[in-house]
Amino acid sequence: MEQKVLDQIMDEPKKSVDEEQSAFTGWVLKYTKDSEKRDPAVLALNQIVLSFAAIHTSGMAVTHCLYDLAARPEYIQPLREEIEKVIAEDGYEDDGDGIKKLKKSSLPRLRKLDSFMKESQRHAPAGLFGNTRVVVKPLHLSTGHTIPPGTKIAYNLWATQMSTSSLSMSPTYNPPNYHAPAEFDGFRFSNLRAMEGKENKHQFVSTAPDSLSFGHGNHACPGRFFASNEIKVILIEVLRTYDLRLKGDVEGTGGVEKRPEDLVNAGSIMPNPFAEIEFKSRKKDVI
């Protein structure tokens, strides 16, 4: 089947760049060596890699958010109130089968939810390091040092996003109710966006030299916009439909010290796969 798809695409008249990038296959083929463009094994491998990267990272981000909500239940009600307010103002879309769906245009209005996601990701990005590269020729630094060819280099992602030397984490850049970078402030970024001139900055999908979870520049993650919507939809469903708590937290009071400890392996940061969260239906009619 893949061979038929490849042959069909390769035999069609050349399309515009926009048309080529509208489908995964065309997008990948654009950057595939000519000698490999008709090889279904190459396409299959790229599909597997992309699927793993997309599903794996989004799943981890959702899990981190759920752990943070269970450990910090004080955020649950404000997030629910924001969600219900936006739904009440924007209404729903009917899919034609009588099923009401949240409007895509409503998602950007959920600034507190967006902020909570970004803060959760800041504390637990996919890895400690980012943009690993291999030096192909001697790299001369301003310090006088030279990095030889073949050396692997990367930036310290976690440390950058936790440092007061970073612009968005500096006290002078933030509002008076600023929390130090080491502290978890779920509404850190929605508070920043409430400041004049920063309304469209510091979103979950935003990248910057001090916000590197999705990379930055030409190679920033192209799927981050889809991932943002996907994660929001999941969290909206959970928050509207269920109460949640860490297993054993009978009173549901949470506690930072109770949050399942992340696992770090070969530089990757993963949510604890052995932790458990308890869900209970809110027993409320939720559309």
**Using one digit for the tens of pLDDT, what is the confidence trace for 206-224?**
999 999 999 999 889 989 9
Q: Annotation-wise, does 221 bind a ligand? A: yes
Mean pLDDT, the chain, whole residue set? 89
pTM for this predicted structure: 0.86
Nearest Cα neighbor of 267 from 121, 162, 135, 126 is 126
Summarize the confidence of residues 265-279 as an average pLDDT.
95
- Domains in the chain, start-ordered, CATH in brackets? 39-281 (1.10.630.10)
Task: Report the percentage of the chain scoring pLDDT > 70.
Answer: 91
Burial of residue 169 (CB within 10 Å: 0-12, 13-18, 19+) is buried
Residue 63's contacts (CB-CB under 8 Å, 6 or more residues apart) are 271
Q: In which band, very low, low, confident or very high, does the pLDDT at 189 lie, cut at 50, 70 and 90?
A: very high
Decide: 280 and 252 in contact? Cβ < 8 Å.
no
Summarize the confidence of residues 101-125 as an average pLDDT.
96
Q: In which band, very low, low, confident or very high, does the pLDDT at 17 lie, cut at 50, 70 and 90?
A: very low
Q: What are phi and psi of 139, to 5 degrees?
A: -110, 110
Burial of residue 104 (CB within 10 Å: 0-12, 13-18, 19+) is exposed
